[in-house]
Amino acid sequence: MTAIAPHLERMKYLSALIREVGPGPALRRVAQKLRHGGVFRSSADDPVARYGFVLPRPFGDAPIPADGNRGINWIIPEFFAGSGGHTTIFRIVRHLEQHGFDCRLILEEPSRLPDGDVAKRLLEKSFPGLRANVAIGRAGMQPAWATVATGWSSAYMARDFRATRHKCYLVQDFEPGFYPRGTRGALAEATYRFGFYGITAGDWLAQLLQRDYGMQTTAFGFGVDHDLYRPPAESRPAGPPSVFCYARPATERRGFALALMALALAKQRLPALRVVFGGGSLKGLRVPFEHTSLGTIPPRQLAAAFRDSDAALILSLTNASLMPLEAMACGAPVVSNGGPHVEWLLGNDDIALLTPPAPEHLADGLVRLLTDADLHRRLSRAGIERAAAARWPAELDKVLRFFETLP
């Protein structure tokens, strides 16, 4: 079985690549990988190959002069539909393009995509409205006025790139917290000491990076797409209570197991409770109660699920996600875990019900919200008002002003 597993992984990779880009580009990409000892050679047993990208390898010419050039390289992980982190990156890029900046997207290597043209076509399908060209890896990096890392692995490429006047770091979460203590966490944490200027999603990250790593930071908040996320036109019909749960089992920081245990306890006290999961696949996982799983769903269907729910259980064990504001915009009051990484967005029980991150406390909060009509009404109204004030143009202008003030 051990000998078969790598072959199955290779076939899964090739099959997924063919579905996404077509047989010709997929085979060219595989041939390229083979020439460079890539995808068909596991790095799990070769730590130097796995982490070799962090070793210093300067590239690019000398920094360009300050001649009015407003070109920005954005080094990004490969994008997938439904990625909240990419959606925020592309919102920022589109806003800067609308104000005269020339943005280029550079995909990190190794990439599942054969070239920048294929990547551009996929980008236009998943995230329409961007003018930015797309390239892959170091060979695609052009001299730029500014270069922006958007994750810890891309920070190493930005560190090595010489042909840029400014180096910045879009930090949407505390990435060392994604891993157990070990090599990856240490390498992620090291990037906060590269001397880049931080652009952070929220004040919690800005303060953390200033205090612990001496970074200069500018913070922006989260907005809401009010064309999609809006309250229901009329009250939900009477019936069993319903809760939407953000389910991303593959993303440990979203606390799926905690949420599942909390819901199991809540179901014991409210047997008629209807549970709807959305956000990721539950395939192969045992859920100990009747439920509906929507999987990964587009924003319009997600908004409809929020409007059809009496509450939303949305956990974040690192920085808060966009989803609580979107749920509140649809009238669904939120139950979440407490902590400064969430409270910067959701306050202290004034617009959402926050509890310690333990199953029994989360279950208590959920049951209380669903059985206390006054509390439910107050938090639903407060959440709608909070979300109404969260507007992307105002938040994106904070990032715009940062770039406009760079010399």
Name the residue among 267, 259, 211 with its Cα closest to residue 241: 267
Residue-level pLDDT at 11: 52
pLDDT, mean over the chain: 89
Name the residue among 197, 87, 78, 76 with its Cα closest to residue 146: 197
Percentage of the chain beyond pLDDT 90 is 74
Is residue 145 classed as helix, strand or coil in its secondary structure? strand
**Which conformational region is residue 18 in: left (phi greater than 0), alpha (psi within -120 to 50 degrees), or beta?**
alpha
Residue 357 in tokens: 């991150």
d(C-alpha 242, C-alpha 201), whole Å: 31
The CB-based long-range contact list for 137-142 (8 Å cut-off, 24+ gap) reads 137/106, 137/107, 137/108, 137/109, 137/111, 138/59, 138/109, 140/106, 140/107, 140/116, 141/59, 141/60, 141/73, 141/75, 141/106, 142/71, 142/73, 142/104
- Check pLDDT > 90 for residue 47: no
Residue-level pLDDT at 115: 87
Is residue 358 classed as helix, strand or coil in its secondary structure? coil
Tell me if domain 54-223+393-405 and domain 242-388 are identical in fold: yes
DSSP result, 194-223: S-PEEEEESHHHHHHHHHHH---EEEE---
**Which conformational region is residue 91 in: left (phi greater than 0), alpha (psi within -120 to 50 degrees), or beta?**
alpha
Domain 242-388 has CATH 3.40.50.2000: yes
Per residue in 254-313, pLDDT (tens digit) is 999 999 999 999 999 999 999 999 999 999 999 999 999 999 999 999 999 999 999 999
Instruction: List beta partners, residue 134.
Output: 105
Residue-level pLDDT at 23: 54
Is beta strand 102-107 parallel, antiparallel or unpaired with respect to 292-293?
unpaired
Per residue in 316-343, pLDDT (tens digit) is 999 999 999 999 999 999 999 999 999 9
Residue-level pLDDT at 78: 85
- φ, ψ dihedrals at 96, nearest 5°: -65, -40
Name the residue among 370, 360, 323 with its Cα closest to residue 342: 323
d(C-alpha 225, C-alpha 82), whole Å: 15
More confident residue, 68 or 344: 344
d(C-alpha 84, C-alpha 22), whole Å: 26
d(C-alpha 8, C-alpha 127), whole Å: 31
Q: What is the DSSP letter of 59?
A: B
Per residue in 207-260, pLDDT (tens digit) is 999 999 999 999 999 999 999 999 998 887 778 999 999 999 999 999 999 999
Q: What's the distance, CA 71 to chain centroid?
A: 25
10 Å Cβ neighbour count for 300? 11
Residue-level pLDDT at 282: 95
Q: What number does CATH give the domain 54-223+393-405? A: 3.40.50.11090
| Type of residue found at 47 | P
- Check pLDDT > 70 for residue 33: no
Burial class (CB in 10 A: 0-12, 13-18, 19+), 8: exposed
Residue-level pLDDT at 336: 98
10 Å Cβ neighbour count for 215? 21
Name the residue among 279, 280, 292, 287 with its Cα closest to residue 260: 287
Residue-level pLDDT at 18: 52
- When pLDDT is cut at 50, 70 and 90, the band that residue 22 belongs to is low
For the CA atoms of 318, 388, 296, 30, the dihedral, rounded to the nearest 10 degrees, stands at -70
Q: Where are the domains of the chain?
A: 54-223+393-405, 242-388
More confident residue, 18 or 286: 286
Residue 221 in tokens: 């908040």
10 Å Cβ neighbour count for 394? 12
- When pLDDT is cut at 50, 70 and 90, the band that residue 34 belongs to is very low
The Cα-based distances of 45 to 37, 50, 242 in angstroms read: 14, 9, 47
pTM value is 0.87
Per residue in 369-403, pLDDT (tens digit) is 999 999 999 999 999 999 999 999 999 999 999 99
Rg, the chain, Cα only: 22
Residue-level pLDDT at 2: 40
Residue 55 in tokens: 């070793």
- Check pLDDT > 50 for residue 88: yes
- When pLDDT is cut at 50, 70 and 90, the band that residue 16 belongs to is low
The Cα-based distances of 159 to 76, 141, 169, 323 in angstroms read: 14, 13, 10, 32
Residue-level pLDDT at 395: 98
Per residue in 133-159, pLDDT (tens digit) is 999 999 999 999 999 999 999 999 999
**Which conformational region is residue 202 in: left (phi greater than 0), alpha (psi within -120 to 50 degrees), or beta?**
left
